[in-house]
Amino acid sequence: MPPTYQGLGITYSMNAGETISCSGNPPEDLLNEIYGVELTCFKDPYPPRLLLYYVRLAPDLFIVCRSGEKIVGYAIGVIENYGRTGHIVSICVHKDHRRKGVGRILMETLEKLFIEKGAIEAKLEVRVSNEPAISLYRSMGYTIANIYHSYYSDGEDAYIMIKSLSKTRNVSPRYIS
C-alpha cells in the first residue's frame, strides 16, 4: 500500500500498527517540544535558538515525525556547495522510539528532498564512536570519505560520510503496510 498523504506530510504505517506522520515546515511554536526530543539524543544538544535558525533557513528541510501528537524524531537538512550537496545537519529519534524505522524514514525523506532540489550527493558528520548512527548510514549506502580530527567540542573526531544520490531517485519507504 502506498503511503497516504496528509496535508504536506506523509504517513507511514509501522510495525505493531503504529502510525508515524512526517512533514517539513514545523511551526516555530513546536521548537520547545523538538528541543525536548533533542535532549534525549545528544550530550551537546543544539540550543533552541540554533533550532530556530535552521527552521528559518530551510523550513522544508526541517522534517518532524510524530506518533499522534507526540514528536518522535526530527532531521535537519541544508543545501550547500552551490546546490550540489545535501547536508544532513542533524538527525534525532526520541530514545523511546528507536529501532522502529523512524531514523531511516527521516533519512529517506531528506534524500528525496535533496534530489528534488537537484543535489547529487548527501553528506553528514558523525562521531567516530556513534555506532548506531554509523550503522544506519552504512545500511543506506553512505561511506566514510574523510575524518575531521577534534571536530567536536569534547575533542572527539568526526567521520565525514557521503552518498551519491544519482541512483536513488526512486527511493521508497520501508515499513509501509
Ligand X SMILES: CC(C)(COP(=O)(O)OP(=O)(O)OC[C@H]1O[C@@H](n2cnc3c(N)ncnc32)[C@H](O)[C@@H]1OP(=O)(O)O)[C@@H](O)C(=O)NCCC(=O)NCCS
The region of 27-35, 43-51, 87-95, 149-157 touching ligand X under the rule CB under 6 A is 87-95
What does the block give as the cell for 106? Answer: 527521516
Among residues 20 and 31, whose Cβ is nearest to ligand X? Answer: 20
Q: How many CB atoms lie within 10 A of CB 169?
A: 10
Give the one residue of 57, 83, 132, 146 binding ligand X; rule: CB under 6 A: 132
Query: What interhelical angle do 48-57 and 31-39 show, nearest 10?
Result: 120
Residue 98 touches ligand X, criterion: CB under 6 A? yes
CA–CA distance from 82 to each of 46, 87, 119 (Å)?
25, 12, 9
Q: Which is nearer to ligand X, 15 or 82 (CB)?
A: 15
Query: Interface mask (CB under 6 A) for ligand X, residues 45-84, using x and -?
Result: ----------------------------------------
Using the rule CB under 6 A, is 99 a contact of ligand X? yes
- The CA-CA-CA angle for residues 36, 24, 94, to 5°, reads 30
Query: What are the grid coordinates assigned to 60, written together?
Result: 522544508
Instruction: Give the interface size with ligand X as a residue count (CB under 6 A).
Output: 20
Question: Do residues 89 and 77 lie in contact, with contact meaning Cβ atoms separated by under 8 Å?
Answer: yes
SS3 per-residue string spanning 30-57: HHHHHHHHHHCCCCCCCCHHHHHHHHHH
> In terms of CB distance, is 55 or 93 closer to ligand X?
93
Q: Which residues pair with 66 in a beta bridge?
A: 21, 71
Nearest approach, Cβ of residue 42 and ligand X (Å): 6
If one asks whether residue 135 binds ligand X (CB under 6 A), the answer comes out as: yes
* Position 113 contacts ligand X (CB under 6 A): no
> Does residue number 92 form part of the binding site for ligand X (CB under 6 A)?
yes
Sites of contact with ligand X (CB under 6 A): 41-42, 91-93, 98-104, 126, 130-133, 135-136, 139
